[in-house]
Chains A and B, each alone.
Chain A
Amino acid sequence: SYVLTQPPSVSVAPGQTARISCGGNNIGSKSVHWYQQKPGQAPVLVVYDDDDRPSGIPERFSGSNSGNTATLTISRVEAGDEADYYCLVWYPSSDRYVFGTGTEVTVL
């Protein structure tokens, strides 16, 4: 099956580091992309191909991917980082994309 599991919620204090996991079978062999979605807005790409950032995305956003877990790390968290975050993977063996279950990040 193609399920990407994320923690439903992550809480972090301003200035601290938030880590959001995306778990899937052998996900380390795939390219993982990460999206930020704020209420009422379309998703925004924050990390692509595991660890690359689109232009305009702060260096505070970084990614890693190994084994069965990919991770989005948000350093020096700000109030404006409060949002839902989703991972995304393309599975060529079955010709489908799968989104992760989503994580709500709350800044305390």
Chain B
Amino acid sequence: EVQLLESGGGLVQPGGSLRLSCAASGFSFSIYAMNWVRQSPGKGLEWVSVISGSSGSTYYADSVKGRFTISRDNSKNTLYLQMRSLRAEDTALYYCAKDSWSSGSYNAFDIWGQGTVVIVSS
């Protein structure tokens, strides 16, 4: 079964750091681009970042550029999101999501995890 399992969320003070993980199983992790998407309480979906299968390319939303870093360890089938200089507005449920094609381009997200909650508050 194809599965994504996020972890690492929690309560952090403004200005602090946190690293999220997403463990993948049931598919050839290394050949698919992977994404982070977040959803603030009661709000819509916001794309955060994408990384190509080979880690050669990474892209970010303007709201997190320079503060968040996406990475992956294909030997461990795990995706990461290192978050620094966290702000109250980063409070959200963070999902990891798999690209639907191994084509090297960027497509629909066909598999999502259940998310991990990040709360930024003093």
A contact residues vs B (CB 8 Å cutoff): 31, 33, 35, 37, 42-45, 48-49, 54, 84, 86, 88, 90, 92, 95-102
Contacts and interface: CB of A to CB of B under 8 A. Distances in A.
Interface stretch (B24-32, B40-48, B79-87): B40-48
Interface residues of B, number: 21
Main secondary structure of the interface of A (DSSP, over half): strand
Contact of B59 (A31, A96, A101): A96
B107 A48 contact: yes
Contacts, number: 57
Interface in B76-122: 95, 100, 105-110, 112-115
B11 interface: no
A49 B108 contact: yes
A97 B115 CA distance: 19
Contact of B45 (A86, A92, A96): A86
B112 A42 contact: yes
B24 to A, nearest CB: 15
Q: What are the nearest 7 A-B pairs in CB distance?
A: A48-B108, A33-B108, A97-B47, A102-B44, A42-B112, A95-B59, A99-B45
Given A49-B108, A54-B110, A92-B106, 16 more contacts: A33-B108, A35-B45, A42-B113, A42-B115, A43-B112, A45-B109, A48-B108, A84-B44, A88-B109, A90-B105, A90-B107, A99-B45, A99-B46, A101-B44, A102-B44, A102-B45
